[in-house]
Amino acid sequence: MREKMRCKKGLGLLAASVAAVFLWVTFSAAVVECPDTIVIKNDGWAKVKYEPVQFHHKKHSTEYKVPCAECHHVYKDGKNVWKEGEAVQKCSSCHNVYKLGKELREASDQEKKMSLYKAYHTNCKGCHKANKKGPTKCTGCHAKKPKE
């Protein structure tokens, strides 16, 4: 099933009406929302040291000009075949290895690839670091949880 994305900036009037017709024609199909802000919080961590991450999703595409496929992918034969407009799965539906710390350092290469910790930190922090823009300090993305 094809789904319509609502994450485009500055849709022109023409494009908007075309989109409206398209939406009308396919109105029975699910509409994939492209959220403004996403609270990133996964439940599988053995230990949770930090508060959930407030991620300005839309700003990253509109203001910071990060292409969708910089963060979203579906690999087939080593190539990213995901296209804008297609449904998006949670990172954790594929990156489902929750190991942290020493356990992660000692994990196999395959497990490291599928590590959720690495998925976020390589993608998010990696870009911030490489471009010297955006937070790279731990507390820049998630505040420490108060001790219980």
Contact residues toward ligand HEC (CB under 6 A) are 5, 7, 32-35, 38, 40-42, 45, 48-50, 52-53, 55-57, 59-61, 64, 66, 68, 70-75, 84, 88-95, 100, 113, 117-125, 127-128, 131, 133-136, 138, 140-142
Question: For 30, how many CA atoms within 13 A lie in the half-sphere containing its CB?
Answer: 8
The whole-angstrom separation of Cα 129 and Cα 135 is 8
C-beta of 14 vs 71, nearer to ligand HEC: 71
Q: How far apart are the first and last CA of the chain?
A: 46
Q: To the nearest whole angstrom, how small is the minimum distance from the Cβ of residue 79 to ligand HEC?
A: 10
Which tokens go with 46? 């053995």
Residue 116's nearest CA partner among 140, 141, 91, 137 is 91
Minimum distance, C-beta of residue 143 to ligand HEC, in the bound complex (Å): 10
Pick 68 or 97: Cβ nearer ligand HEC? 68
Nearest to ligand HEC of 12, 140 (CB atom): 140
Looking from the CA of 51 toward its CB, the CA atoms found within 13 Å total 11
